[in-house]
């Protein structure tokens, strides 16, 4: 029965499964779609995969993806070197940049502590972050996610950084802008009460 | 803000969106995953895309994907040339083969009539199917999906084939209404083939 599927098609279906969240049925559907309706897109994707894989490394300063040894953000003289924001993923860095209120530097962990998935302090290169703070003392802002993993990562890093005697902060928890008390979960509301700030009028 | 994302990474994220069902967030997640955890898989996928795109054509007889002008199934002398099963997609053909009760030939439409998506008789090359039946008269079994599009396709094809004076049948509605061949168990599909009914048009 297998002989009725061309081997290059079979190989494409298998190869597509390296994408996260793509199972055998999705991979088959994608392969058919590309061959039937978008061969141009397939070739473009092939080239993009090769170029990205061969040209993208990690910035030696912030660990974000970069085409150069030091990324453009780390190389910029306009950024405030007294602030270091620690995020989990490059997408989080982009979100921070979109706020247009943060002008410091970043450190991208490329993940969060997750012992069950085999991701520990070593995999996330915490030592590189500590060394960086030792060399250039600055305030460290933990902007990891408010998940169990993100919280654990922030807490563990703060412990590691304690001997360096730098200020370590965590972005605030609370209601989102435009949020209504009626629709927020009780954990968030409890944190918002605990982290309440004085109104200066 | 855009300058913080390497251009090869941006291009990879854009290129990944040619895959069906992949939006901007999924594409980003896929790109990060490949660069961070599976560069080998990315290169393998790049090569598979290129090989498949450059080597896979349509079989001149059954229209299925093939690496040769005539696919191995059409070239096989063991198949019953008196039966021609019309399916929408290659996956449907594989499901038919899995029933192990059908030994005839196939015609793969690579889709179904869908006027809203701009897929008509011309896009599905109905003329090639009709010509094939004119040259080699045989019983035609409509095994398109039991969806609105699949039913319309079967009915339209039956009308086109009426002048040829061949028996045209439809696999039995043993499948649930609205069901797709790809997701049915082979026992039900085998039953549906056995109980096929002549289309009276």
CA distance B122 to chain A (A): 15
Each residue's pLDDT tens digit, B18-60: 999 999 999 999 999 999 989 999 999 999 999 999 999 999 9
Sort A188 into a burial class: Cβ within 10 Å, 0-12 / 13-18 / 19+: middle
Is B47 touching A (CB cutoff 8 A)?
Answer: yes
A16-30 mean pLDDT: 94
Each residue's pLDDT tens digit, B61-81: 999 999 999 999 999 999 999
Each residue's pLDDT tens digit, A105-157: 999 999 999 988 888 888 888 999 999 999 999 999 999 998 899 999 999 99
With a pLDDT cut of 90, the percent of chain A lying above it is 61
Sheet holding B139-142, edge to edge: B104-108, B80-87, B139-142, B168-170, B197-198
Q: Does the beta-carbon distance from B97 to A1 stay under 8 Å? A: yes
CA distance B167 to chain A (A): 26
Identify the band that residue A99 occupies on the pLDDT scale cut at 50, 70 and 90.
Answer: confident
B72-98 mean pLDDT: 92
Which H helix or E strand runs over B80? strand B80-87
Side-chain half-sphere exposure of B8, counting CA atoms within 13 A: 17
Q: Does the beta-carbon distance from A72 to B3 stay under 8 Å? A: yes
CA distance A88 to chain B (A): 12
Each residue's pLDDT tens digit, B115-163: 888 888 888 889 999 999 999 999 999 999 988 899 899 999 999 999 9
User: Which residues, numbered 137 to 196 in chain B, qualify as contacts with chain A under a Cβ-Cβ cut-off of 8 Å?
Assistant: 182
Give chain B positions within 8 Å (CB) of A31.
Answer: 52
* Minimal Cβ distance to A6: which of B33, B45, B66: B66
CA-to-CA dists, residue A100 to A26, A73, A94, A96, angstroms: 38, 14, 10, 7
For the complex shown, is ipTM > 0.85? no
pLDDT value, residue B2: 47
CA distance A8 to chain B (A): 5
* Minimal Cβ distance to A56: which of B8, B15, B182: B8
A184, A175 in Cβ contact below 8 A? yes
Q: Does the beta-carbon distance from A20 to B11 stay under 8 Å? A: no
pLDDT value, residue B174: 66
Alpha carbons A58 and A64: distance in angstroms, whole number? 5
Q: Does residue A174 register a pLDDT over 80?
A: yes
How do B65-66 and B57-58 pair as beta strands?
A: antiparallel
Q: Does the beta-carbon distance from B56 to A9 stay under 8 Å? A: yes
pLDDT value, residue B133: 94
pLDDT value, residue A153: 93
Residues A95-111 as b/e (b if ≥16 CB within 10 A, e otherwise) read ebbeeeebebbbbbbbb
pLDDT value, residue A32: 93
Q: Which CATH number fits domain B58-198: 3.20.20.100, 3.40.1360.10, 3.40.50.2300, 3.40.50.720?
A: 3.40.1360.10
CA-to-CA dists, residue B158 to A19, B143, B151, B165, angstroms: 41, 12, 11, 10
Q: Does residue B3 register a pLDDT over 80?
A: no
CA distance B192 to chain A (A): 20
Is A69 touching B (CB cutoff 8 A)?
Answer: no
Q: Does the beta-carbon distance from A15 to B182 stay under 8 Å? A: no
Each residue's pLDDT tens digit, B99-115: 888 999 999 999 999 98
CA distance B149 to chain A (A): 18
Q: Which CATH number fits domain B7-55: 3.40.50.2000, 1.10.8.420, 2.30.130.10, 3.40.50.2300?
A: 1.10.8.420
Is B134 touching A (CB cutoff 8 A)?
Answer: no
CA distance A46 to chain B (A): 4
Identify the band that residue A4 occupies on the pLDDT scale cut at 50, 70 and 90.
Answer: confident
Q: Which pTM does this prediction carry?
A: 0.76
Is B76 touching A (CB cutoff 8 A)?
Answer: no
Is A75 touching B (CB cutoff 8 A)?
Answer: no
Residue among B1, B2, B4 with most chain A CBs within 10 A, to mutate = B4
B111, B119 in Cβ contact below 8 A? yes
Q: Does residue A2 register a pLDDT over 50?
A: no
Q: Does the beta-carbon distance from A55 to B31 stay under 8 Å? A: no
Is A127 touching B (CB cutoff 8 A)?
Answer: no
Q: Does residue B191 register a pLDDT over 80?
A: no
* Spatial CB neighbours of B27, under 8 Å, sequence gap ≥ 6: B13, B14, B16, B17
Is A71 touching B (CB cutoff 8 A)?
Answer: yes
pLDDT value, residue B194: 77
* Minimal Cβ distance to B41: which of A18, A35, A67: A18
pLDDT value, residue B189: 78
Which residues share a beta bridge with A66? A57
Q: Does the beta-carbon distance from B20 to A39 stay under 8 Å? A: no
B38, B48 in Cβ contact below 8 A? no
**Where in chain A are the domains?**
7-55, 58-198
């Amino acid at each position: 029965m297998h002989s009725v599927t061309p081997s290059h098609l079979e190989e494409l279906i298998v190869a597509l499964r390296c994408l996260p969240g793509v199972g055998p049925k999705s991979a088959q559907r994608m392969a058919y779609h590309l061959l039937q309706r978008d061969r141009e897109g397939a070739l473009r994707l092939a080239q993009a995969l090769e170029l990205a894989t061969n040209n993208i490394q990690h910035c030696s300063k912030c660990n974000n993806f970069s085409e150069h040894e030091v990324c453009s953000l780390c190389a910029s003289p306009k950024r405030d070197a007294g602030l270091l924001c620690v995020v989990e993923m490059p997408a989080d860095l982009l979100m921070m940049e979109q706020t247009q209120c943060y002008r410091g530097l970043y450190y991208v962990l490329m993940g969060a502590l997750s012992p069950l998935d085999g991701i520990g302090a070593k995999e996330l290169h915490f030592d590189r972050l500590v060394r960086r703070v030792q060399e250039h003392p600055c305030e460290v802002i933990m902007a990891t996610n408010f998940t169990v993993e993100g919280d654990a990562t922030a807490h563990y890093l703060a412990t590691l950084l304690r001997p360096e005697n730098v200020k370590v902060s965590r972005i605030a928890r609370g209601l989102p802008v435009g949020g209504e008390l009626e629709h927020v979960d009780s954990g968030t509301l409890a944190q918002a009460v605990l982290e309440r700030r004085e109104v200066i009028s």
